């Protein structure tokens, strides 16, 4: 959806991402079919794999989470999809702060966010892997005594083998 919809007419394959946390997969597929009736369409979802402690890089099982109550912050185009994922996982979220997509976190923002979410009862700050790479130097010290965890995910594609075969056919 980063270019005009008519651009889908050039597509050899379409992958609809986050189809598990949005009601838009069917309408998107209908729109795709109007512009490119025969294109193979696949649906993808993000599957949580582990919690990663930002400070150490240590990985933890999804359940039980390595924290009691999450204060969530993220800079995504669709932050609700992340919040829905956490909800489906049963993560107790006490509050969330949203930033613009691809946000680069500055020290004063992290300090303020940590204070705000700690006041709501957060025992840890939780974000996405995408956001973790945009944290400023020294972020773990800035938010102490809270720890920052990010959710490690992998993309799961329905019909992944067929998608790979289609790509290989087109490039080979």
Q: Which residue has the tokens 């329905």?
A: 158
pLDDT digit string, tens, across residues 84-131: 999 999 999 999 999 999 999 999 999 999 999 999 999 999 999 999
Residue 78, pLDDT score: 87
Q: Which domains does the chain have, with CATH numbers?
A: 5-44+155-171 (no CATH), 48-153 (3.40.50)
Q: How many other β-carbons are positioned within 10 Å of the β-carbon of residue 103?
A: 15
Cβ-proximal residues to 83 (8 Å cutoff; 6+ apart), any chain: 72, 93, 96
Classify residue 116 as exposed, middle or buried by CB count within 10 Å of its CB (0-12, 13-18, 19+): middle
> If you average pLDDT over residues 9-15, what whole number do you get?
92
- With a threshold of 0.75, does the pTM exceed it? yes
Q: How many other β-carbons are positioned within 10 Å of the β-carbon of residue 30?
A: 9
pLDDT category at 49 given cuts 50, 70, 90 is: very high
Cβ-proximal residues to 124 (8 Å cutoff; 6+ apart), any chain: 66, 67, 68, 69, 70, 71, 146, 147, 148, 149
What values do phi and psi take at 14, rounded to 5?
Answer: -125, 135
Q: How many other β-carbons are positioned within 10 Å of the β-carbon of residue 128?
A: 22
């Amino acid at each position: 959806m980063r270019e005009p919809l008519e651009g889908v007419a050039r597509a050899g394959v379409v992958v609809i991402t986050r189809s598990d946390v949005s009601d838009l997969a069917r309408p998107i597929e209908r729109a795709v079919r109007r512009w490119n009736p025969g294109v193979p369409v696949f649906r993808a979802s993000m599957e949580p794999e582990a919690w990663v402690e930002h400070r150490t890089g240590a990985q933890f099982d999804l359940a039980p989470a390595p924290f009691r109550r999450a204060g969530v912050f993220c800079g995504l185009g669709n932050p609700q999809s992340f919040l829905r994922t956490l909800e489906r996982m049963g993560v107790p979220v006490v509050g969330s702060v949203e930033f613009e997509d691809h946000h680069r976190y500055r020290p004063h923002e992290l300090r303020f966010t940590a204070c705000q979410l700690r006041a709501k009862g957060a025992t840890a700050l939780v974000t996405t892997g995408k956001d973790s790479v945009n944290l400023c130097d020294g972020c773990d010290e800035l938010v102490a005594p809270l720890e920052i965890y990010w959710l490690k995910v992998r993309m799961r594609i329905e019909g992944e083998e067929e998608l790979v075969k289609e790509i290989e056919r087109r490039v080979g």
